Amino acid sequence: MTRHAPQPGPAIRTSALTKTYSQHGTPVEAVRGLDLEVADGELVAFLGPNGAGKSTTLRMLTTLLPPTSGSAQVAGFDVVGQHRQVRHAIGFVGQGNAAGPQQRGRDEVVAQGRAHGLTRSEASRRAGELLEAFDLAEHADRPVATLSGGQRRRLDVAIGLVHRPRLLFLDEPSTGLDPQNRANLQEQVVRLNRDLGTTIVLTTHYLEEADAIADRVVVIDHGRVIADDSAHRLKSGLGDLVTLGFDSPGQATTAAERAGRLPGATVALDGARLVLRVPHGRDLAPGLVADLAAAGAAVARLEVAGPTLDDVFLQLTGRSLRESEQTTDPATTTATATATATEGAAA
């Protein structure tokens, strides 16, 4: 029990945490002065483009990498001076697969339990519980190599949980999974957080993943935190995106002039298309369509989309997070309303 003792206080606290690598003698500042607190029971996503410093941060918090300067406490223990206690308190699921391909999944979970000091029968009971919880029971007695990508990833998470850690770190858990397996894994992660109160920190490239499951999104760019809040609050300052299609560029120009008068609106013209970013765009759209029709600019096509975390990133950095990733996600869960203007409205 003593090994499990400290925590009171946040699950994670870092102060001016930095990591500078040396690449052929040139310093690479991967993490630049991170000050972060994660409360017990939070589900936090680190979101950022390739090379932002997400994995490096995670590796320092999980004691796999010593910080260059600054400090970090995890579960109340110092990641440098008390790395053993930290390791005991956390589960870590890295980007590679944890289980040996020729081993049976069940044996891998049991072996991990034994490594954490469980007796054979305790480890076996725990393995049964986890395999059941992660829908793996019927696949656990064949070689890991024969499991699907999603099953293997769930097995990794089960292995990371064998010692009932208070905190679970997941490094890009969904990368490479198809949308169905991704959704399944996300559901398990949320359940772990909601039902057992496990604090979860994950890194992700998927905007929709951070948006859908995290209580809090820490946006990282060039080794620094550039935003830190709930996805809802991060997006709430941005307007809706209203895209209007016309039959001619002249109509679009008329529409740009009129739509530009809406409070807080920014407009961009693209031939016969007008892209409008405006607060409460969804509510304003019907009135705007009627107004434009009366002004001789009948709307032929109308699309309204709520703001996304990509819009947040774009506003903060001038770059699109989505476009800077090779791993684009075809499935989007962004609330998007598409409507073709009715003849009545456009008349």
Q: Among the candidate windows 52-60, 140-148, 157-165, 326-334, which touches ligand ATP by CB under 6 A?
A: 52-60
The answer to whether 47 touches 208, Cβ cutoff 8 Å, is no
Binding mask 138-167 for ligand ATP (x = CB under 6 A): ------------------------------
Of 11, 14, 38, 48, the one binding ligand ATP by CB under 6 A: 48
**Residue 52 CB, nearest distance to ligand ATP (Å)?**
4
* Near ligand ATP in 109-128, by CB under 6 A: none
Nearest to 159 by CA among 118, 201, 130, 184: 130
**Residue 310 CB, nearest distance to ligand ATP (Å)?**
16
Q: How many CB atoms lie under 10 A from the CB of residue 191?
A: 12
Q: Could you say whether residue 52 binds ligand ATP (CB under 6 A)?
A: yes
Query: Residue 41 or residue 176: which is nearer to ligand ATP going by CB?
Result: 176
Q: Could you say whether residue 212 binds ligand ATP (CB under 6 A)?
A: no
* Tokens 């369509």 found at: 289
Binding mask 4-43 for ligand ATP (x = CB under 6 A): -----------------x-x----x-x-------------
Amino acid residing at 126? R
Scored b (16 or more CB within 10 A) or e, 145-155 reads eebeebbbbbb
The answer to whether 302 touches 336, Cβ cutoff 8 Å, is no
The answer to whether 273 touches 256, Cβ cutoff 8 Å, is no
Nearest to 45 by CA among 195, 234, 180: 234
Count of residues that interact with ligand ATP, criterion CB under 6 A: 12
Of 9, 16, 35, 50, the one binding ligand ATP by CB under 6 A: 50
- Residue 268, beta-bridge partner list: 275
**Residue 110 CB, nearest distance to ligand ATP (Å)?**
31
The answer to whether 291 touches 283, Cβ cutoff 8 Å, is no
**Residue 29 CB, nearest distance to ligand ATP (Å)?**
8
Q: Among the candidate windows 45-53, 110-118, 161-169, 207-215, which touches ligand ATP by CB under 6 A?
A: 45-53
Give dist(CA 157, CA 148) in Å, integer.
14
Amino acid residing at 202? L
Query: Residue 8 or residue 96: which is nearer to ligand ATP going by CB?
Result: 96
**Residue 21 CB, nearest distance to ligand ATP (Å)?**
3
Q: Could you say whether residue 173 binds ligand ATP (CB under 6 A)?
A: no
CA angle, corner 89, sides to 87 and 94, nearest 5?
55
Query: Residue 68 or residue 124: which is nearer to ligand ATP going by CB?
Result: 68
DSSP 103: S
The answer to whether 30 touches 19, Cβ cutoff 8 Å, is yes
* Near ligand ATP in 311-330, by CB under 6 A: none
Q: Return all residues near 117 (Cβ < 8 A) that are at least 6 apart.
A: 163
* Near ligand ATP in 54-93, by CB under 6 A: 54-56
Residues at the contact surface with ligand ATP, assessed by CB under 6 A:
21, 23, 28, 30, 48, 50-56
